[in-house]
Structure 1
Amino acid sequence: MNELSVDGNRYSVRRATAHDVRPIVQLLADDPLGATRERSDESVYERAFAAIDADPNQFLAVVADDEAAVVGTFQLTLIPGLARAGATRLLIEAVRVSASVRGTGLGAAMFGWAHEYGRSRGAVLAQLTTDKSRLDAHRFYERLGYEGSHEGFKLVL
């Protein structure tokens, strides 16, 4: 299933290539938090992309419209673990949908695709983190059935 149909529009989901790095970064920077975190130095993104692309447990996806424009992205990480009886978890990060297609149902379709990707690779749990200030995102995730179950912590290294 590498195609999404949303409200009569068709989108393709595929593994990102180096050519997609710039439009992905533009999506990441197109929100209040991303605008303060992302940089203009493309070399940092090229190095990061190379590491992601080389890791078999990573899937950096782009979602393109019928004109091949990148309108969405997300990064999926399969995490094998001992906890939960040796369960594999699917981590969903860096989800962005272009402002031009927000509210159309594309985000929900992307999550449906991600969930199926995880299930087909043995994941039994999908998880994500989201900044506490992203209240609209919280409501969206809850509509998809996600529950706020943990308190997250981070330390800048």
Structure 2
Amino acid sequence: MPGITVRKARRDDVEAIVRMLIDDQLGATRDSADDLEPYLRAFEAIDGDPQQLLVVATSNDEPVATLQLTIIPGLARQGALRGQIEAVRVRSDHRSAGLGGDLIQWAIDESRRRGCALVQLTSDTSRTAAHRFYERLGFVASHTGFKLHL
């Protein structure tokens, strides 16, 4: 990623991250930058948990992409750790240049460095282009996910 640096997100990155969430077909209906307080509370919880890693890819220290990596311990697979990738977003003016793939590869490498046996992610069923993207990166659509909104 020439000119791009991946680093742990900081509190002052939250607004830029929220704007990337909003600049998305689904996020536009769920997120808003009108009140950053709930996002800042979530950031503090993420930042305080060593099993969570919220990162930004920056250009000139300006966030242009983001993802959250969660390290999940479990008993299955002989006590294997899993890396769970969530909320992958690339700012619209940096899309289609390979940054998303590079950021996912960074998360895979970080998961491996932390001793994970596998990396997993979920993607909304309506995101068919994203599904093709993840398959090109070697991910396999192996499970069906379910959600219950509370």
TM-score, normalised relative to structure 2: 0.97
* CA distance in 2: counterparts of 1:93 and 1:100, whole angstroms: 21
Cα drift, residue 32 of structure 1: 1.3
Q: Please tell me the residue identity of whatever aligns with 1:38.
A: D
Q: Which runs of 5+ in 2 are unaligned?
A: none
Say which of 28, 31, 40 aligns to 1:46. 40
Q: What SS does the aligned partner of 1:70 have?
A: strand
* CA distance in 1: counterparts of 2:104 and 2:88, whole angstroms: 9
* CA distance in 1: counterparts of 2:30 and 2:58, whole angstroms: 24
Say which of 38, 44, 50 aligns to 1:56. 50
Q: Please tell me the residue identity of whatever aligns with 1:105.
A: G
Cα drift, residue 117 of structure 1: 0.4
Q: Which residue of 2 aligns with 1:31?
A: 24
Q: Which residue of 1 aligns with 2:15?
A: 22
**Count of matched residue pairs:** 149
Q: Please tell me the residue identity of whatever aligns with 2:54.
A: L
List structure 1 runs of 4+ shifted beyond 6 angstroms: none
Q: Which residue of 2 aligns with 1:110?
A: 103
Q: Please tell me the residue identity of whatever aligns with 2:8.
A: R
Structure 1 position 134 matched with structure 2 position 127: yes
Q: Which residue of 2 aligns with 1:71?
A: 64
TM-score, normalised relative to structure 1: 0.93
Residues 25-50 of structure 1 deviation map (CA, whole Å, 9 limit, x = unaligned): 00011011000000222110010000
Cα drift, residue 142 of structure 1: 0.3
Q: Which residue of 1 aligns with 2:82?
A: 89
Structure 1 position 144 matched with structure 2 position 134: no
* CA distance in 2: counterparts of 1:155 and 1:135, whole angstroms: 22
Q: What SS does the aligned partner of 1:32 have?
A: coil
- Seq. identity, %: 54
Q: What SS does the aligned partner of 2:4 have?
A: strand
Give the CA RMSD over aligned residues: 0.7
Q: Which residue of 2 aligns with 1:100?
A: 93
